[in-house]
Structure formats: structure tokens, C-alpha cells
Amino acid sequence: MTKRFIITASAIILVAALVGGTIGRSRRFRHSVPANGAVSRTQVDDIEQDYNEAVSAISVQYAGEIDYEKATQAAIQGMLSTLDPHSMYFPYSEFKKLKEDQDSRFYGIGVTIVQHRDGVYISSAVEGTPAGRLGLRYGDRILEVDGKDARQWTSDQVSKRVRGGRGEAVTIKVDRAGAEAPLSFTLIRDSVPLPSIRNAYILRPGTGYVGLTGGFQSTSDEELREAIKKLKAQGMRQLILDMRGNPGGLLNQAIDVSSEFLPRGQVVVSVKGRTEYSDPIVYKSSGADPEDVPLVILINRGSASATEIVAGAIQDHGRGLVVGETSFGKGLVQHVFQLPFNTGLTLTTARYYTPYGRSLQRDYSSGSIYDYYTGHAEDANPQSSPSAPSASPNARSVARPLAQALSTPQLQNGPAVKTAAGRVFYGGGGITPDIEVKPQTFSPLRNRIAEAAFQFTRQLAAGLLPGLEAYKVEKVQYGKTAKATDYPISDRVMEAFRGFVRTDAQSQLTPAQLEEELDFVKLRLREEIITAAFSNDAGARVLLDSDPQVLRALEALPDAKRLAESVRTGVIQS
């Protein structure tokens, strides 16, 4: 173990001193020195010798037991944390998951799980997976995994235990509403798809919705092309591309996705950095026959990296409008390195810039890592462009699409950049939307309502509520979009829910609170029963129908069309 510690730690020292790698895939580290001579071989030898001597002293002299695995991880991550927030070390299990995510699939049982007040529950089983074939369903509470008590586990702990090698068995014991005793299922782990696109359907007549929210993995562009093809066959004439919460991923997929909408040869992103990026590398669209439908992109604070590349390219070129909240602001390029013993790391080697030169990266020079990841937009105090008229803080004038960037408050963390049709944006703080719209808010009261709605629907879907047996879900109908007549939230359902809340002490809800939030109550009940009957995707569509950001995106589509036409023809509207 001591030898393993020294080998791994020494490798990381060399990596930290000698930058290199490839975007989007791992490679084994090569002992080489940068051509620019930034770090001499002697310096590297001295650093490695000092470190090895420290390890030797610890191994020989330390009075207690040494956890070399833990010490290795702490030493490496401690070194990387002095660089930037995105250079990170991955132990074996996490590095394996990183590679699985990039491959758009993993081996497991195929369930979506949710943490609730008294444990982890199955929200939906994925069609065609081991869980889907054996009948695990909405509302099943996970009690045991391979004989180990899981009642106090988090959803992350459950997820790690049910994943494993292909062909390996795992036994799950669940508590099912209406069952006299816990049920046991032995499942054989198999390939589970991990798609980038989680939802694609006709949102309104002629308007398509694509939820590209699952990262930019190896199949992202292929999934998008297929989704657009199907939606156009159903009459789609305009598109909302939802990338809220998408953390990013592979650079080549961001370029390919952008190419679906940009003419061939237009710049998508440039990369500037050290060593192989000492001269900027410019990536251009390869779109031979790009889609010309009006386009609105949805982003939020969780949209990062590759997502920001796509949104920035569309915005810079005036190809569409961006709606939502200012994105995360991750414009650092990480290379993936595989280290000895199948561990790995991501190391920042360059920065991304939008087609017209905006830096995507938010400042990380002050404050803690926690603040960087959780508080980046909480205290934002945007200032209007000095050359622009005053504007509402939450919307741009969509009546004048070519002036939108001039009339929206923006964080001026970087220099002003003039983009297509004279629109001005500022770099250094993520992508500022053309139309800022806050998301639906969740108060403690609404959280309690959502929890009660789940617990109630668990009984409703099991057929346990007298007079509401028609709501019993016998079998999940995958691939279906719910109609208004499917499982309606009737007066009888509402009365049953009120009765449930009165007897459920843990909900801590009063009749007055339910009446105060009546629309939200009905929405959550509807989402839960549709999830139980038609799967997670269908349930998500219920929420999207009343999502304030989606509704604003619908309103913005005509302006997106006018903007793209103005840029294409060179005729500036005012």
C-alpha cells in the first residue's frame, strides 16, 4: 500500500507540473516536459524527492495506523484545490462513474429513486431494464439491498449499491403499498441508458420541446437529431431547447449540437490556454444542413460548461433567444488523466470563449469553494449598460429583438463584446439570458405539500382509497403523454387528499394552507399520479405545462424568429 501511495502521489506531482492531455477522454500520463520549458526536469525531480521523503518519514515514524488510501486522496485533492475549483481527483469508483457517464450508459437495475421523509423510494422504473421487466414500481420503498438495511440510507448510497458489473445479481427488498409483507426482487444488472435528452414532445401545436438536461455525452448530438426528426414529423415548426441544470460534458458534442442550428463555418467556440493551446484553437460549425426553425434556449444557474458553449454560440450569432437565469459560469477546460490503479483526475489546461470573444468563466479568486458552487448568483447586483436605456430587471424588450442585449441588466465582469447585429454582452460571468425569468419558487410549505402529495398518491395508485379504485395503476404505460381526461384531479380526489392530510401528522399541513396553495396542490397531485401511471417523463411534462420559464419561452418564439431573420438578411429592426 505504501508503494501504491508513492506511485500515485508521484504521478500527480508530475501531472500538476507538466500540463497535457486530451479533451473528452482519458489517457495515461506520459513523463514529458512542456516544449516551452515552464518547469525544468530538475524542479520536478526536487518536488518528487521532497514528497517521497515526507511519505517515508510518515510511514516509518507515525505512531498510529495509516490509511494510505485516504492519505493519497487528501494529498492529491489538497494540491489540486490550490489551482481552481474544477481540477479534481477521482478515486477508483468515482473515476469509473465518470467514464460511464461519458459513455451515456452504466450497469445497474434501471430505476429512478427519490429521497423522502422516511427513506428512499422508487419514482419510476426505466422501460426495458431489469427493474422495468420485473415490475418494480412507483412508491416502492427500498428496505434492503443484498440483505443490508437500507432504511436510513440516502439516495446516493442506494444508487451506489444497486450499480455493479454487468450480469451480476442484486437483491432488493421493498415495502409496497397494499402488500401484506415486503417483496423481494433478485435482478441481474444490465446496461442502463443514460440519455442526454430526457424528454422530447410537442408542447403546443407546432411547438416542439426538447429537454437536453442529462449532460453532453457521447450520444448527445445523435439523440438531438433523432428527437428533432420525430418532432418535425409530428408538425413541429419551432423549438424550445431546454438545457436547464445541464452540467456540461464533452466539447465535441457541444460543437455538434451547436452545428445543428448554425451554418457551416460559423465559429462555435475558441480555446485558449497553455502548451497545446498556446495559440487559440477555433472550433467551427460543421452543419451541412442546419435546422432553420425559430429557436429559444432555456438555461439556469445549473447550466454549465458545454451548455454555455451552445447557448453562447446561439446568442452571439443571433440564431435564437436565451431565456431563464444567468448560467453557472464555467469556462475552464479540463483534460482527463488516468493514473495508476485506475484512479484519475481532471486538470484545467485552458479557457473557453464564445464566438465573439466572451470568456465564460466566473471569477473564483476570492471566497470558498462552497460559495463558488452554491452562492454565485444569490447576491448578484447587475448594472445596466451605460449606453442603454433603463430596463426592467427581469425582462428585455422583445419588441425590439436587436436591442435586447443593450436593454438587459448584466454583470459587467469582463469587457463589452459586440456580437451579431450590434448586440452587446459582457464576459466573465456565464451567459446572461436575453429574457430573465425566475423559476417557480419552493417554500417550506410547498415542500410539505409535495411530500404529502407523494405519500397520498402512493396509496391512490395502489387502489387503496375507497371510491377512487379507478386510479389504481396496474401497469406503467411507457411513452404516453397524458391527456386531460387521464387521472384527473377531481373534487373527489381533492376531498380524499384533505382527509389524508388530516390523519397524517407528519405532513404538518392545515386545511387553510391547502386552500392557500390549491393550484399548487392540484399540480403536484397530477404530476405524481401521471408519474405512477406513465413514468417520470410524462410526469415531468405536467410540471412543464405550468413552468414560468417555459411559458415565457413560448411567448419569445416570434421574437426569436424575427431576430434570426434580421441577422440572416442584415436588415436591422428597431
Q: Which spans in 317-426 are helix H? A: 369-374, 404-407
The radius of gyration computed from the CA coordinates of the chain, to the nearest angstrom, equals 26
Beta-sheet pairing, 321-324 with 295-299: parallel
Catalytic annotation on 559? no
Catalytic annotation on 330? yes
- Around Cβ 56, how many Cβ atoms within 10 Å? 12
3-state SS of 252-298 is: HHHHHHHHCCCCCCCEEEEEEECHHHCCCEEEECCCCCCCCCCEEEE
**Whether the Cβ atoms of residue 88 and residue 346 lie closer than 8 Å to each other:** yes
3-state SS of 35-88 is: CCCCCCHHHHHHHHHHHHHHHHHHHHHCCCCCCHHHHHHHHHHHHHHCCCCCCE
**In sequence order, what E strands does 354-394 have?**
none
Nearest-CA neighbor of 428 among 391, 392, 462, 382?
382
Q: What distances in angstroms separate CA 559 from CA 223, 231, 320, 547, 563, one per listed residue?
A: 27, 21, 9, 20, 6
Report residue 459 as a C-alpha cell.
396509496
Given the residues 173, 284, 330, 561, select the one marked as catalytic.
330
- The string of DSSP codes covering 392-404 is -TT---TTSGGGH
- Around Cβ 289, how many Cβ atoms within 10 Å? 8
Return all residues near 494 (Cβ < 8 A) that are at least 6 apart: 521, 522, 525
What amino acid is encoded at 511 in this protein? P
**Whether the Cβ atoms of residue 307 and residue 426 lie closer than 8 Å to each other:** no
Given the residues 10, 220, 270, 305, select the one marked as catalytic.
305
Backbone phi, then psi, for 496, in 5-degree steps? -65, -40
**Whether the Cβ atoms of residue 333 and residue 361 lie closer than 8 Å to each other:** no
Catalytic annotation on 258? no
Given the residues 316, 434, 537, 559, select the one marked as catalytic.
316
**Whether the Cβ atoms of residue 533 and residue 473 lie closer than 8 Å to each other:** yes
Return all residues near 37 (Cβ < 8 A) that are at least 6 apart: none
Q: What distances in angstroms separate CA 245 from CA 84, 242, 328, one per listed residue?
A: 22, 9, 9
CA triple 425-430-433, angle to 5 deg = 60
**Whether the Cβ atoms of residue 224 and residue 243 lie closer than 8 Å to each other:** no
Q: Which residues belong to the active site? A: 305, 316, 330
